Amino acid sequence: MLSGWGRWPVMPGHERLSEDLAAVTCGATLTRGLGRSYGDASLPAAPGAPVAGSRLADRVIGFDQETGVLHAEAGLTLRDINRTLLGRGWFVPVTPGTAFVTLGGAVASDVHGKNHHSAGTFGSHVRGLRLRAGTGAIVEASPGIEPELFDATVGGMGLTGHILDVEVVLRRVPSMWIVGETEYVPDLESLLSTMLDADRIWPYTLAWMDGLGAGGRGRGVVYRGRWADADEARGRELAWPREIAFPAALPYWALSRFGMRWFNEGVLLSYGRRVKRGLIHPQRFFYPLDSLLEWNKAYGRRGFTQYQCVLPHKAGLAVYRKVFRTIDAQGGAPYVVVIKDFGAEGRGRLSFPCPGVTFSIDMPIADGTTQRVVDAVNDIVAAEGGRVYLSKDAFTRAEHYRAMDPRIDGFNAIRRRWDPEGRIRSALSVRLLGDVA
């Protein structure tokens, strides 16, 4: 059985795993990395359709200590890159909230992070890649060679071919530590203005909002950070924390709305009311949940969804508030809400980020309710010219996605050029992009 990080949906099948990715992708319909996309992006189009797994193909092909250019097989994880190279002054240029992502997955999702406003998406740091196209041929693609294929592959959800290896430019860092600040904000308006102000100075910004609002909606914490100078870090040793596995799936009622409400209350209290500043471990700053392996089990056997959309700046506060009112009205429970503003759009033909504000909302899956919530919010997002993040999505309907993303046809046209028989597809491409199972 295969499923994404949200543990729903579940599809019969298994990964073909091998250190030899070129061999194992022969005849496969899709390649998946660590399965950390939340919905059905890494699932086969039909039960049992052959899916290759890249995670054993994790060799570094070359690394240039002077320029930071890393060339590696697609299964190498961001975690491995950071742990191997941070001590030598290099860090991944862009990272999502988990380091358990393969290079291939980072390209396919064109992941973004706290530094989107200053560094764009992962794809904008990729110099080139090799992939096995749907025809079976192995093709090189970069901004200079087959640029159209390259642009479709960046953020292309693995649907343009099996990514075999990737060349990416890492970010040089002056120390191994982050100087971070946290600031309590009493409402959504101040949350957004505080974050946007911080963007002008800080390379990394993010906000967390209490989505359940025991004491009023929109309170939250704004995080800002930058790499510490060597002086600030004062040669402090850095040890990577041990990872502990979440023991077993909690019963579905364990993570209750009531409990989460008070949990959020506690989190807010712990930040106090003053700006806090300090030297922070990069693991805590970038990957606060990574030390607890398999935390997705906390949501129980029914799983959860992380709905993430972006709304253009012109939509404004009233629309953002409407999103949360709509979730409430439909009976949804936004347990964890993370907010970030995006900078300019990248070159990926199907990439998610575009200028605006993105909301990512964790909700436990509940029969009927979840679909209703997503449908209702998607009505707003489509009407306002926003879109949803395919790597998180499990519930969006094809007609909604088409209304949000006029780029589908252009993207599919490029796919067909490299895969005339339409061999490469996924459960997601069947659900949203018009592929047949």
Minimum separation from the CB atom of position 165 to other proteins (A): 10
| Chain residues 5-24 in contact with other proteins, contact rule CB under 8 A | 14-19
Indicate the pairing of strand 387-388 with strand 292-293. Answer: unpaired
| Beta carbon of residue 73, minimum distance to other proteins (angstroms, whole number) | 8
Between residues 76 and 195, which has the closer beta carbon with respect to other proteins? 76
Site string for other proteins, 58-97 (x = CB under 8 A): -xxxxx-x------------------x--xx---------
How many amino acids of this chain bind other proteins (CB under 8 A)?
17
From the CB of 238, what's the least distance to other proteins, in Å?
Answer: 15
Provide φ and ψ at 387, rounded to 5°. Answer: -155, 170
Contacts 24+ apart (CB under 8 A), 149-153: 149/414, 149/417, 149/418, 151/347, 151/348, 151/349, 152/348, 152/349, 152/350, 152/411, 152/414, 152/415, 153/107, 153/108, 153/129
Per CB under 8 A, which region of 41-49, 55-63, 171-179, 394-402 contacts other proteins? 55-63
214 makes contact with other proteins (CB under 8 A): no
CB closer to other proteins out of 62 and 406: 62
- Contact residue for other proteins among 39, 53, 75, 300 (CB under 8 A): 53
Binding region for other proteins (CB under 8 A) out of 51-59, 185-193, 214-222, 399-407: 51-59
CB 87 to other proteins: min, Å:
7
Query: Given candidates 46, 50, 56, 118, which one binds other proteins under the rule CB under 8 A?
Result: 56
CA distances from 244 to 289, 293, 294 (A): 11, 6, 9
Secondary element (H or E) of residue 34: none
Give me the 154-193 binding string for other proteins, x by CB under 8 A, dash otherwise: ----------------------------------------
Q: How far is the CB of 18 from other proteins (least distance, A)?
A: 5
Q: Is the dihedral of CA 292, 204, 182, 281 positive or negative?
A: positive
Q: What tokens appear for 42 in the block?
A: 């890494």
Q: In the complex with other proteins, which residue's Cβ is closer, 100 or 177?
A: 100
Closest CA to 317 of 200, 205, 189: 189
Minimal distance, residue 70 CB to other proteins, in Å: 8
63/285 with CB nearer other proteins: 63
36 by Cβ neighbours in 10 Å (0-12 / 13-18 / 19+) ranks as buried
Q: Find the shortest distance in angstroms from Cβ 99 to other proteins.
A: 14
Burial track 259-279 (b if 16+ CB lie within 10 A, e otherwise):
ebbebbbeebeebeeeeeeee
Instruction: DSSP for 308-373, please give it.
Output: EEEE-GGGHHHHHHHHHHHHHHTT----EEEEEEE-S--S-TT----SEEEEEEEEE--TTHHHHH
Cα torsion at 111, 114, 119, 124 (round to 10°)? 0
| Phi, psi (rounded to 5 degrees) for 228 | -70, 145
Task: Please name the amino acid found at residue 325.
Answer: R
Rounded to the nearest whole angstrom, what is the least distance from the CB of residue 266 to other proteins in the complex? 32
To the nearest whole angstrom, how small is the minimum distance from the Cβ of residue 84 to other proteins?
5
| CB of 61 or CB of 413, closer to other proteins | 61
* Nearest in space to 352 (alpha carbons), one of 404, 395, 400, 398: 404
- Residue closer to other proteins by CB (options 189, 243) is 243
Sheet holding 204-209, edge to edge: 276-280, 178-185, 220-227, 204-209, 336-342, 356-364, 304-311, 387-388
Stretch that binds other proteins, among 53-61, 105-113, 203-211, 275-283 (CB under 8 A): 53-61
6 Cβ neighbours under 8 A, 6+ residues apart: 38, 39, 296, 299, 303, 304, 305, 306, 365, 394
State the nearest-atom distance from the C-beta of 5 to other proteins, in Å. Answer: 17
What is the closest distance, in whole angstroms, from the C-beta atom of residue 137 to other proteins in the complex?
A: 20
Footprint of other proteins (CB under 8 A): 14-19, 53, 56, 59-63, 65, 84, 87-88
